[in-house]
Amino acid sequence: MSIEEQKGTTPFLCGVESPLEIQYDWESDHSMGAAIVQAMVEEARVDATDVPQSFYESVDPDALDDLFRPQISGSPRMKGKLSFSFAGHYVTARSDGHITVESELGRVKRTGGNVMLTGDVPEDVFNQLSAQLLGDAAFDRTSLFALYGRNADVAQSRLSQAGVSSDHAHILTHEPVARSAAQDQSNQSGRMSISSIVGSLGEFQSAIREQVFDLQQERNGFDSAELRFCFDSLQLLLEEEGTETTTQFITTVTETIEDVNGFGHFVLPNTYDSPPVQAVQSLFDVIIEIKIGVDGLEQRLHLQDTSHTTRWFQI
């Protein structure tokens, strides 16, 4: 696990919105490894001393050069590539000198996966960040909310804040007791689709899965990260159902989102070190930890696959 020291306010983070593309010149005086680190430093706009991990911990720079350097005759090596992780990023080097650097967070946002929002902050902060994770309204996406112990107004507010069209917004709520038929559905023209699932947690889980695949069929398949999913709140689910049942529920739902290459976020309003968060954090690709710092809202990312934690930085 690599952890960035809190020496500044800018994280060592690049290739988030789009992968960083580098073309290495074999005539350069610098090794390929040095060129990769330098390009990442410049893209992240940090000092070289802010690089949180030695490149040697990921790959031997000399071996990297030997693997791809043109032969003594000048002939290029056979086509090949090497991929490895470095300080929260995926790096792919090719024998033609083309290098791609992609943040783990960026890959999850582009290709699909599941993140958890956590922190001891006011509810309006979660509302703000949840709306942001629904994505740019300019893109033709489908949004699905699953609410446990939460009112549909919470989802409607975030969807409106994100500028999501009512035609592309769907809300499922879990109701442990039956309500009147007049309250159960709200599918009138021009309004967001709201369905109340009255029954057990297992029935709610099945309804989420069915809704995801129904939407996929309606859209003739989803592009990567086209489906934006939100579950709120894990805190209430853990309190009422316990860790084992909640873990099984999360596992099934996250797998469903991954099956359609969707991007899901789950809200758990508690500190990162708290028992509830630690009980389920390993089930997610990325943990977004939030706090209120001296200069406003701050976040740090716990990137699971690359075993890296960023420093705190402003939102």
Confirm whether 302 is domain-assigned: no
pLDDT tens by residue, 46-67: 998 889 989 999 999 888 888 7
Q: Residue 303: CB partners within 8 Å, gap ≥ 6? A: 88, 104, 105, 285, 286, 309, 310
Phi-psi category of residue 21: left, alpha or beta, with phi > 0 → left and psi -120 to 50 → alpha: beta
- pLDDT of 181 higher than 50: no
Based on the domain organization, do 98 and 123 belong to the same domain? no
- Give the pTM: 0.89
Q: How many domains does the chain have?
A: 2
Based on the domain organization, do 98 and 118 belong to the same domain? no
Higher pLDDT, 262 or 28: 262
What is the enclosing helix (H) or strand (E) of 314? strand 313-314
State both tokens at 143. Answer: 């949004």
Based on the domain organization, do 171 and 222 belong to the same domain? yes
pLDDT tens by residue, 253-305: 999 999 999 999 999 999 999 999 999 999 999 999 999 988 899 999 999 99
Based on the domain organization, do 91 and 117 belong to the same domain? no
Based on the domain organization, do 268 and 137 belong to the same domain? yes
Confirm whether 296 is domain-assigned: no
Confidence at residue 96, expressed as pLDDT on a 0 to 100 scale: 86
pLDDT tens by residue, 74-87: 666 667 789 999 99
Backbone angles phi, psi at 42, to 5 degrees: -65, -40
Based on the domain organization, do 84 and 125 belong to the same domain? no
Based on the domain organization, do 248 and 183 belong to the same domain? yes
Confirm whether 147 is domain-assigned: yes
Confirm whether 135 is domain-assigned: yes
Q: Is cis: bond before 307, omega within 30 of 0?
A: no
Confirm whether 312 is domain-assigned: no
Based on the domain organization, do 66 and 148 belong to the same domain? no
Based on the domain organization, do 69 and 39 belong to the same domain? yes
To the nearest 10°, report the CA torsion of 108, 269, 243, 312: 50
Based on the domain organization, do 184 and 205 belong to the same domain? yes
Rounded percentage of the chain residues whose pLDDT exceeds 70 = 90
Using 50, 70 and 90 to split pLDDT, how confident is the model at 95?
Answer: confident
- pLDDT of 175 higher than 80: yes
Domain enclosing residue 124, as ranges:
112-284
Tell which residue, 205, 267, 204, has the closest CA to residue 230.
Answer: 267
Confirm whether 305 is domain-assigned: no
